[in-house]
Chains A and B, each alone.
Chain A
Amino acid sequence: MHLDLHWPDYLIILLYFAFVVGVGWLVKKKVKTSSDYLLSGRSIPLWITSLAFISANLGAQEVIGMSASGAKYGLMTSHFYWIGAVPAMVFLGLMMMPFYYGSRARSVPEYLKLRFDEKTRSLNAMTFAAMTVFSSGISLYVLARLFELILGWDFDLSVLTAAAIVAAYIFTGGLTSAVYNEVLQFFLIVLGIAPVVVIGLWQAGGWDGITSKLAPVMTSTWAHTGSAEANPMGITTWGLMAGSLCSSFGYWCTDFLVVQRAMIARNLNDSQRTPIIAAVPKMLMPIIVIVPGLIAMALPYFIQDYALPTANDGSPDYNMALPSLIAHYYPTGLLGVGLTALLASFMSGMAGNVTAFNSVWTYDIYQPYFKKNAPDSHYLMVGKMTTIVGIAASVGVAYMAVSFNNINDFLQVVFSFVNAPLFATFLLGMFWRRTTGHGAFAGLLAGTLAAALVHGFTIAEGKGGWLTSNPLEIASGIAQAYHIAWVAFVANLVVTWLVSLATKPMPQESLSGLVHGLWTDGVPPKATAEVWWKRPALLALVVMVVAVILNLIFW
């Protein structure tokens, strides 16, 4: 598959580059302190924090990866949204933001320091910082490879141009610039990919046309989860629910990359509503990212001149589902918009990682370990320098990925080991006052170890099974990831509980405002809302009802 661009396409891409860099320049004068640069001065309006919240996650994995999963696993992929992300975002808004925002912590690792101790914060900060740099670098690598493949662009040029543009707008405008651009990128991704969905559905005879041609298991969410053999994910209802909930809650409720967008809201009410409002477009996102995968599978039944590209071994190349549809349909002009949307998704993912990295590095690693009581201007300078260092390191990772083909898979696996158990630490930390720092630290290590063991004793699609010569076979990588997630969660929960009971309780006065029931002024922080429809709980109820209805409609 090769695409030829013409001058209008290049003009649109250049226009986009000019706008994202211009945004950084425009917000530059707002940046006077380290808080302005790294936390946006906690002054960002609700609609922007909400859209930035989901846009920070709209990276390569979401846009290209979910359409690939849609083509491979069908509508079951929507479980990532309808029983994964949406309930997790509602839980974050209702139950966790009062602690994150109310404690005035500047980052998720800093909350761990306030709630537990320095070692738990450091463990989380170090692993998170490493993960963000690697994720950002891999995003850059995938972008450059994709554009090399479909446009014939030079790999070095793609890597360096994308990195330079992200560096330009984050260095000048900090988090505000990244967040503003994430909102622009969100609309660009939606409006740039939506025409594929509209024209694809039209040519395939609508949803009815797709369901008439694809196997029923491809167009249902729950109907075929009675046994692992009955669906392409190879997972049962229990594995799906436990794994999806553990992995989604682990990501959406504890990953600073997304939680940071809610922490920069103007007040507690806005910070609580940020993830809940973000859940509304999130639950509709399968239309943009999963349906194209289904269209790619169904379309060859309706038209002669389209087929999903194949990989070198002759198997369908699911990763090309969305790019191949864009290539098939988009004329000059709209092709520029579609490719800009793909570029935006990569840059959005990279910028999100870099801004989270510079906050964690500055506040959770540099300040406590290198220079404790420096003037604010010093931390502002460190934040800016960290942006450049983070992006340079990302470029390094992108080139490392060229030399080591499997580094992407390897890192994804290692990240899953670290991420999977995290939610248990926060759950116990926020809702069980007896949880101790030693308990949290031991639980995190145990959860990571448990995740590694499950991966080592199971094998899926050729991955894992490195601890035994006779590993347990699992049908798909997703099913394996789900099993890793719930086992790591349980291991962390049990070990944290046991070690906490065996160690000295933390003094209650040190937990004020950090644990449920131990409120700063003796009363729970309450998000004030001048009108009833702005109450987070009501909004959360509506979102959950709609999510349940979606599950039922596409059962």
Chain B
Amino acid sequence: MEKLNDLRFIIGFFFTLVGAMLVVLAFALNYEIAVGKTLNLYAGLAMLGFGGLMLWLTGRD
């Protein structure tokens, strides 16, 4: 419960979820423009990385 109250955990959890969704969508959708897939993929990976960093910081303490 203490971890849940840690803002880093909340932010990390949110961005990990959203990042994972974008990565899955990058491969699951058909795109009208090619750059769409790239955008979802790279933005998703960036958010996954940021979310993971926040979760790691929470776990480290």
Contacts and interface: CB of A to CB of B under 8 A. Distances in A.
Contacts of A180: 7, 10
B29 A184 contact: no
B10 A333 contact: no
A26 interface: yes
Interface of A: 8, 11-12, 15-16, 19, 22-23, 26-27, 30, 48, 180, 183-184, 187, 191, 194-195, 199, 329-334, 337
Contacts of A11: 21
Which of A16, A48, A333 has the most chain B CB within a 10 Å cutoff?
A333
Interface of B: 4-5, 7, 10-11, 14-15, 17-18, 21-22, 25-26, 29, 31, 33, 35-37, 39-40, 42-44, 46-47, 50
B19 to A, nearest CB: 9
A8 B10 contact: no
B7 to A, nearest CB: 5
A411 B14 CA distance: 37
Contacts, number: 70
B53 to A, nearest CB: 11
Nearest to A29: B5
Contacts of B10: 19, 22-23, 26, 180, 184
Given A48-B7, A191-B15, A334-B22, 16 more contacts: A8-B25, A12-B18, A15-B18, A180-B10, A184-B10, A184-B11, A184-B14, A187-B50, A195-B42, A329-B39, A331-B29, A331-B37, A331-B39, A332-B29, A333-B21, A333-B22
A3 B7 CA distance: 33
A22 B25 CA distance: 25
Given A183-B11, A184-B11, A332-B29, A191 B21 contact: no
B47 A191 contact: yes
B25 A332 contact: yes
Nearest to A6: B29
A172 B13 CA distance: 21
A330 to B, nearest CB: 7
14 contacts: A19-B10, A22-B10, A184-B7, A187-B11, A187-B15, A191-B15, A194-B46, A199-B39, A329-B39, A331-B25, A331-B39, A333-B22, A333-B25, A333-B26
Contacts of B26: 333
Contacts of B43: 191, 195, 334, 337
